[in-house]
Structure 1
Amino acid sequence: MSIQPFPRTTPPITAGPQLRLLRRQARLSQLDLALITGISQRHLSCIETGRAKPSPGTLHNLLMALEVPLEHCNSLFLAAGYAPRYKTTELSSAAMTAVRDAISHVLHANNPAPAIVLGSHWEVLAANASTGVLFDLVGLPTDSAQELNLLTTLLQPGGLGDHLINPEEIRRLAWQRATREALDNPTLASLLQTLSAPDYCASMASELPPLVLTRIRTPQGELNFMSTFTTFGMPLDITVTSLRIEHLIPADAQTWQTMTAAYERSLC
């Protein structure tokens, strides 16, 4: 499967036609988008046809309403004749102190349930103590929890995917999500090209249950988790908007008891 990145903006292409295309992809009428952003439908029409140039504030509001990735937003600002608006700040920088503190709080609060922080390429940036506990339960090196790529460990042999009771379901969902994200992420697209997905691609048409649990086989028995994600609201930095925290919430009493007991032992 060849994954093509989101088309990059070239100087001859103005912002208006791109906004029109993005609006249609979002399945919004001009009236819908005008109501969401608070501008007139007539003004929006003029912007899309190139008869009017949006102000930086108007362009920002339109892009946020269309949920356009910040990297692509920068190319739209360039196409409109403005400097790029959104920057990429290193997570380790002083400006990101509040973000790091928030992440640390969420990870700690999730114990004894596992939680991991993922970057835009599915790389694990941080993990709580219970993630190491889970790795220990399945026999994976506990020090590798923060040195892996979640997509790789799910799809390739020798990783967490080998310990799944329902690997086809989890791999199928991971592949679908990553493929969508790769449309505007060339690095992730390159990673996907190195991975093969014959089994779960072949079963794409099969119906999934309403709630897919992550079911993991351990010597202590089957552990069942629900997966939820935390993201930062209203981010204006490319680094922040790419971050997400995956929480593996125990789905039954046995899983809670096993994780709690193992976590408490790890504290001794």
Structure 2
Amino acid sequence: MTILATGPSASATAPAEGKGVGPLLRAWRERCRVSQLELALRADSSARHISFIETGRSRPSEEMVLRLAEHLDVPVRERNSLLLAAGYAPRYPETPLDDPSLDALRDGMERLIQGYEPYPALVVDAGYTVVAANRGIAMLLEGVPEKLMSPAPNAMRLTLHPEGMAPRIRNLREWRGHLLSQMERQIALQRSDQLRALYEEVAAYPLPEGAQDDEPAGPAVYFALPLRIEHDGRILSFVSSISTFNTPMDVTVAELAIETFLPADPATAKYLHTVAG
């Protein structure tokens, strides 16, 4: 398992040209479907003051920008953009993942995903670049061509590319729809040309010839949408869980996500332990 150094994130953004902080805050408020009065109550302010900020009649303090961003659940990178638009310096640094100051973080992620073996687990950034993966993921990627693995593997390309894992996914239409919906939600929160380009690329991949969602053999009751994938002649079923860091103070850390795949049935769990043994 390797932690890869990362450059600028695929979600890198800048304040929209010609827009002050007021219109940006209004857009975030409307996206969250929160009224000016409700936001004011949350932020210990007044609806009149929120209205003045949004229309540009009042310049919010740095503390107010951060307070409103917190109550609107604005991503950390976008909080920097709001501060810049309001005339303040960015508050949150963006530290390269290979920086010595993040040694403890990298070590913790390594221990976490290695401890999850034999079940698959990986770490991705905001652009779905794989920055770490365990042996369970390596098993699922067996047979994927090297051109999809370098220079930096991307989880969406690896999964949906017709030469990647897609031909072995037995519920590809369902799983593809789930992944594309996940990307759409992320794009709605981040003004990222790179992420939108990735979405358009993977959404345009052709489905493997004859692809259709197979029905599970025998009785199967899943508590979440499973990933059903063939490995060495067997159909393995997983449900995934995504974890992020609580209250991150760094853009890089805020945009990391740890995805773990839990066996969705006893047969899959037994097979993984047998292979790992």
Bin of the TM-score, shorter chain as denominator length: 0.7 to 0.9
What letter matches 1:169 in structure 2?
E
What letter matches 1:173 in structure 2?
H
Structure 1 counterpart SS, 2:259:
strand
Task: Give the alignment partner of residue 162 of structure 1, picking from 151, 159, 167.
Answer: 167
Task: Give the alignment partner of residue 215 of structure 1, picking from 220, 228, 248.
Answer: 228
State the shift of 1:248 in Å: 0.6
Structure 1 counterpart SS, 2:170:
coil
Name the residue aligned to 1:187.
194
CA contact (8 A) 1:213 1:225 kept: yes
CA contact (8 A) 2:13 2:77 kept: no
Q: Which moved more, 1:34-43 or 1:231-240?
A: 34-43
Superposed counterparts of 1:102-141, under 5 Å:
102-136=108-142, 139-140=143-144
What letter matches 2:127 in structure 1?
H
State the shift of 1:239 in Å: 1.0
Alignment RMSD, CA only? 2.8
Structure 1 counterpart SS, 2:262:
strand
Q: TM-score, normalised by structure 1?
A: 0.82
CA contact (8 A) 1:215 1:222 kept: yes
Superposed counterparts of 1:1-268, under 5 Å:
8-10=15-17, 12-136=18-142, 139-140=143-144, 144=149, 147-183=152-188, 184-195=191-202, 196-197=204-205, 211-264=224-277
Structure 2 counterpart SS, 1:194:
helix
After superposition, the Cα gap between the structure-2 partners of 1:160 and 1:53, relative to the gap in structure 1 and judged at 3 Å, is: same
After superposition, the Cα gap between the structure-2 partners of 1:262 and 1:35, relative to the gap in structure 1 and judged at 3 Å, is: farther
User: How many angstroms apart in 1 are the aligned matches of 2:40 and 2:22?
Assistant: 14
User: How many angstroms apart in 2 are the aligned matches of 1:100 and 1:37?
Assistant: 35
State the shift of 1:197 in Å: 4.8
State the shift of 1:199 in Å: 5.9
User: How many angstroms apart in 2 are the aligned matches of 1:108 and 1:156?
Assistant: 26
Structure 1 counterpart SS, 2:258:
strand
State the shift of 1:7 in Å: 8.7
Name the residue aligned to 2:214.
none
Q: Give the unaligned 5+ runs of structure 2.
A: 1-11, 209-221
CA contact (8 A) 2:15 2:85 kept: no
CA contact (8 A) 2:161 2:205 kept: no
User: How many angstroms apart in 2 are the aligned matches of 1:114 and 1:41?
Assistant: 48
Q: Name the structure where helix makes up a greater proportion of residues.
A: 1
Name the residue aligned to 1:204.
none
CA contact (8 A) 1:121 1:188 kept: yes
How many residue pairs match? The answer is: 249
State the shift of 1:48 in Å: 2.2
User: How many angstroms apart in 2 are the aligned matches of 1:198 and 1:156?
Assistant: 8
User: How many angstroms apart in 1 are the aligned matches of 2:43 and 2:118?
Assistant: 42
CA contact (8 A) 1:86 1:237 kept: yes
CA contact (8 A) 1:122 1:150 kept: yes
What letter matches 1:156 in structure 2?
H
Structure 1 counterpart SS, 2:127:
coil
Q: Which moved more, 1:43-52 or 1:164-173?
A: 43-52
User: How many angstroms apart in 2 are the aligned matches of 1:13 and 1:141?
Assistant: 45
CA contact (8 A) 2:240 2:262 kept: yes
State the shift of 1:106 in Å: 1.8
CA shift digits 1:116-170 (9 cap, x unpaired): 101111111100122223334xx44799599521111222111111110100011
User: How many angstroms apart in 2 are the aligned matches of 1:43 and 1:228?
Assistant: 40
